[in-house]
């Protein structure tokens, strides 16, 4: 594919120029200590600076909204300084990195948040999984529906996180609107039963997401802000009555923001929902479209060469292959990832995967 675009081609995502189109997808790895990024995290991300763009893991925008025990935050000065070590290390290795801004919503648990009841669009608990807590695995609890007058505080939390991410040296941010966390919980009708201006029609259900995008763009400018959505993913007990219609609506209405990119997850982790969301997104969305979930090197390059996508985000392959882009360039064999070490903590399965050399 020397005469067409492929995964190794350069690209401009808004104001962010990338050396290739192989993005590192946001991957929760639970290696922070007291929600503060560590030196080991800086090493991990620096190892993967060959990615065209690293989208760092889901990061708490506000205190008291932990869903994973050891995930990082971006609401304190100590966290900003910890992330600064990460961004400095990535930049020293020639990479670009953006931070994924996240509110866990109903995926949070009282045992992780000093007994605080989690908040959500509606008082519906996650039922298809359990959460790891300091007291072992537990069922998710029924969340409290956010009051309408509390929602501006959520938007303000995202905006302050965006300000803090800039201080920490990131090249931009991605708003996490996927996988059943707070913004997605509002967006999809299976979990949003509200009767105020944030419920009912797609326009109302998207209102919080769009208010957050506006607030974050006010900090960064639209050319350094991306968005991730997952209209088909049933992870965290999520469902929508018409995910294709939802995607079609978003594809049209996201154009007003002139985002750096839209990171769209194409399938369902659990295989319960199906549909083609990529075609309407590509047809109607005028910005850079990033595909994610299960792409091989070959499919990614073909999709880019055929103008179906602008870039592809890889998750598990980047866990096991810090030099993934170099392996793509050499058509080399990939390391296999060990799922038992994804969230266990420590260097094993984190910074010890071998490179080709």
Give the residue numbers annotated as catalytic, written as ranges: 181
Element (H, E) at 82: helix 77-92
Cβ atoms of residues 100 and 28 within 8 Å = no
In angstroms, rounded to a whole number, what is the distance separating the alpha carbons of residues 354 and 307? 33
In angstroms, rounded to a whole number, what is the distance separating the alpha carbons of residues 120 and 108? 10
Q: How far is CA 225 from CA 30, 100, 175, 220, 301, in A?
A: 24, 10, 7, 7, 24
Cα 180–chain centre separation: 12
β-bridge mates for residue 131, sequence order? 138
In angstroms, rounded to a whole number, what is the distance separating the alpha carbons of residues 336 and 264? 25
Helix/strand number for the chain, H first, E second: 11, 14
In angstroms, how far apart are the furthest CA atoms of the chain?
A: 58
In angstroms, rounded to a whole number, what is the distance separating the alpha carbons of residues 254 and 22? 23
The number of beta carbons lying within 10 Å of the beta carbon of residue 185 is 31
In angstroms, rounded to a whole number, what is the distance separating the alpha carbons of residues 142 and 136? 18
Q: How far is CA 125 from CA 140, 166, 189, in A?
A: 6, 34, 14
> Looking at residue 340, what DSSP letter applies?
G
Angle between helices 207-220 and 151-167 (to 10 degrees): 30
């Amino acid at each position: 594919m020397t005469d067409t675009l492929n995964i190794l081609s350069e690209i401009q995502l808004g104001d962010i120029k990338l050396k290739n189109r192989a993005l590192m997808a946001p991957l929760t790895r639970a290696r922070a200590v007291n929600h503060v990024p560590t030196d080991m995290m800086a090493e991990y991300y620096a190892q993967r600076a060959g990615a065209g763009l690293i989208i760092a893991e889901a990061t708490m925008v506000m205190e008291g909204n932990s869903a994973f025990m050891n995930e990082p935050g971006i609401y304190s000065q100590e966290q900003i300084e910890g992330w600064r070590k990460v961004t400095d290390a990535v930049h020293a290795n020639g990479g670009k990195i953006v931070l994924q801004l996240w509110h866990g919503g109903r995926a949070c648990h009282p045992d992780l948040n000093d007994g605080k009841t989690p908040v959500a669009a509606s008082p519906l608990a996650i039922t298809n999984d359990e959460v790891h807590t300091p007291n072992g695995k537990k069922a998710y609890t029924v969340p409290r529906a956010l009051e309408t007058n509390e929602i501006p505080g959520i938007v303000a939390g995202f905006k302050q996180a965006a300000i803090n991410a800039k201080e920490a040296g990131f090249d931009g941010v991605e708003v996490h609107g996927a996988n059943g966390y707070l913004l997605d919980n509002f967006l999809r009708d299976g979990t949003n039963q509200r009767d105020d201006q944030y419920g009912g029609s797609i326009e109302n259900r998207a209102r919080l997401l769009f208010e957050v995008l506006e607030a974050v763009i006010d900090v960064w400018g639209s050319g350094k802000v991306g968005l991730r959505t997952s209209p088909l993913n049933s992870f965290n007990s999520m469902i929508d009555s018409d995910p294709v219609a939802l995607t079609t609506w978003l594809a049209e209405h996201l154009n007003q923001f002139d985002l750096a990119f839209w990171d769209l997850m194409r399938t369902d982790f659990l295989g319960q929902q199906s549909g083609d969301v990529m075609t309407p997104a590509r047809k109607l969305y005028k910005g850079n479209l990033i595909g994610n979930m299960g792409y091989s090197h070959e499919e990614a390059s073909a999709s880019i060469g055929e103008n179906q996508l602008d870039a592809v985000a890889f998750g598990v392959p980047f866990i096991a292959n810090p030099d993934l882009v170099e392996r793509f360039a050499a058509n080399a064999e990939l390391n296999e990832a060990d799922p038992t070490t994804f969230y266990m903590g420590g260097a094993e399965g984190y910074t010890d995967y071998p490179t080709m050399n």
